[in-house]
A and B are shown apart, each in its own frame.
Chain A
Amino acid sequence: MAAITLESVGKTYAGGVTAVHAIDLAIADGEFLVLVGPSGCGKSTLLRMIAGLETISSGAVKIGNRVVNQVEPAERDIAMVFQNYALYPHMSVRENLAYGLKNRGVPKDEIARRVAEAAKILEIGGFLDRKPRALSGGQRQRVAMGRAIVREPAAFLFDEPLSNLDAKLRVQMRGEIKQLQARLGTTSIYVTHDQLEAMTLAHRLVVLNGGRIEQVGTPLEVYRKPASTFVAAFIGSPAMNLLQAEVSGGRVRLGGASLPAPGAADGKVTLGLRPEDLQRTRPGAEGALLMNVAYVEELGAQRLVHGTVGGQSVVCAQPVESDLGDTLTLTADPAAVHLFDAASGKRLG
């Protein structure tokens, strides 16, 4: 187990593409850190640099107290779980688990002990002698995790390990990964583009955009105080409504409506309102938002109402039993009002 430190780590590919721009990040010993961001934002590249599968163009990666820039992947004391599992197809599950240990010269009885232990933790004891081909997707996923566990590494690196599973299995494996990490206490870095996976798994999450860190924080911090419109739109589902608005006299105004925005400087802003923070209020209430309803999506637990406020599209979540008309009168708590700079998209206040 070890802390991992990134000191202005950057990556420029041979073709001149800069996939990662000087990233600084300290991952504590035992922490579960999730890297999240849209496709192509450099998550995999960053993870692969930590793993040693990609050369580091600038900066330094430290595992424990050791700079590992020039260290072979096998010597970095990390284990990686790949999106397509990358199990050796011609080896049985047992051999797959044992291969890395065998190459390290771990004694036979120690290998057997660790394989048995991993098999017990992951409940894969029933098919240790099968080939990966004869396993279901979820079982392969477990074997891939087993291959990481038996190594007893300083850190686990996961690159979208659940994205090949169906939705139900994904939720189940997500829970198992979380418990497993808590139990082993091994430092873990987990890459995903799924914000829900990121929210549920992370101690801290790092939102990446275009090879730069947009925000670092606990899932709740990021959810409650998104640092930019990018994070605001990316984290949370359904996504936060972002509306063009203007601040004057301590209120943010949108057409005829206005919401309290204490302390905000006058000028153009982007107003962020989470669909679940929009509440109905009595018609004609002062400053309320008037929403024209376009259509409704029933989700079972709640319903999502799509429509427009002052010509800008808005989604709001409502209880299932609510009776809706053609227009909704909505308001929001001052605490639920997010303001972003209209030009840069950075959070205000």
Chain B
Amino acid sequence: MVENRRFLNLLAHLVLILGVAFVAFPVYIALIASTHGQNDFLSGLIPLLPGHDTIRNYSAMMTQGLASSGAPPLWLMLGNSLIMALSISIGKIAISIISAFAIVYFRFPGRMIAFWLIFVTLMLPVEVRILPTYKVVAELGMLNTYAGLTVPLIASATATFLFRQVFLTIPEELMEAARIDGAGPMKFFWDILLPLSRTNIAALFVILFIYGWNQYLWPLLVTTGTDHYTIVLGIKRMADIADQQPEWNFIMATVVLAMVPPVLVVIFMQRLFVKGLIETEK
């Protein structure tokens, strides 16, 4: 049995290592490619060991961008992406937590109608309503603005449902105790509901940040000037140029930089997420 188990252990690890290698290899290639000069790719073979042009590649991309494919400097696109991802995640969380609060804790006329209206929007993801949404945004003069980039993506129901579920698990007596303790609805929201939802907010923030960061189709439609390009859009444009070899070293430098913020968010929020899980109990 012991022998057998050791073999199984080995096998399990082998499978795991292969899996990780399989996932990590493209990332490695991107990292390596971003350290080479333009000419190293002409052979048609992708180098597997680091090159010498790391600093040149990254500084060129940060400060000048890739004029040949109409991409502005990276810091601008990174900034745009950051604004977009943050607005979407914060906006979505703010709106949905408030609407869930209203639906769960208040008895108002039309409560069920409101609930179902929100529910219906679940069936209409951005891609489905993209043309009418584009028309609305265009007619409101929001093309090429941050508002145009983010507002249509903020409206959604998924997060509302998540928070509704969270609130329903909080015992009713807690609300009653707060009422007796002289906390009005808003005080209850700030002092009790919000702290108790901390872990869920953290988890949702991670998901929504990555969702916002990775948006491609919508920014492609509503931005025409380079001022509002996001990083994902930029990468696509750089890789798509006609009549020319894509400049892989620059593109990969962009790709590597584009990966950094989501990774940071995951790492940072994961700690808060776990800490929150340990600390609170409903």
Interface pair B187/A84, CB less than 8 Å apart: no
- The reply to whether the CB of A224 lies closer than 8 angstroms to some CB of chain B is no
Interface pair B173/A73, CB less than 8 Å apart: no
- Tally A-B pairs: CB < 8 A: 65
- Residues of B within 8 Å of A133, CB to CB, are 280-281
- The reply to whether the CB of A51 lies closer than 8 angstroms to some CB of chain B is yes
Q: What is the minimal beta-carbon distance from B184 to any residue of chain A, in angstroms?
A: 8
Interface pair B179/A74, CB less than 8 Å apart: yes
Check A100/B176 contact, CB under 8 A, given A90-B195, A90-B196, A131-B279: no
- The size class of the interface chain A forms with chain B is 20 to 34
Interface pair B279/A100, CB less than 8 Å apart: no
CA–CA, A79 and B179, complex, Å = 11
Interface pair B196/A73, CB less than 8 Å apart: no
- Residues of A within 8 Å of B191, CB to CB, are 88, 99
- Residues of A within 8 Å of B171, CB to CB, are 84, 86
| Interface 1/0 per residue, A66-86 and B, CB below 8 Å | 000000111000111011101
- Residues of A within 8 Å of B177, CB to CB, are 80, 82, 86-88, 147
- The size class of the interface chain B forms with chain A is 20 to 34
Q: What is the minimal beta-carbon distance from B221 to any residue of chain A, in angstroms?
A: 43
Interface pair B176/A53, CB less than 8 Å apart: yes
- The reply to whether the CB of B192 lies closer than 8 angstroms to some CB of chain A is yes
Q: What is the minimal beta-carbon distance from B274 to any residue of chain A, in angstroms?
A: 16
CA–CA, A133 and B196, complex, Å = 13
Which single residue of chain A is at the shortest CB-CB distance from B176?
A53
- Residues of A within 8 Å of B183, CB to CB, are 74, 99, 103
- Residues of B within 8 Å of A52, CB to CB, are 179-180
- Residues of B within 8 Å of A79, CB to CB, are 180
Which single residue of chain A is at the shortest CB-CB distance from B187?
A103
Interface pair B182/A100, CB less than 8 Å apart: yes
The answer, among B174, B182, B198, for a CB contact under 8 Å with A104, is B182
Q: Which residues of B contact A (CB under 8 A)?
A: 171, 173-174, 176-183, 187, 191-192, 195-196, 198, 279-282
Of all A-B residue pairs in the complex, the 3 with the closest CB atoms, nearest first, are A100-B181, A86-B173, A74-B182
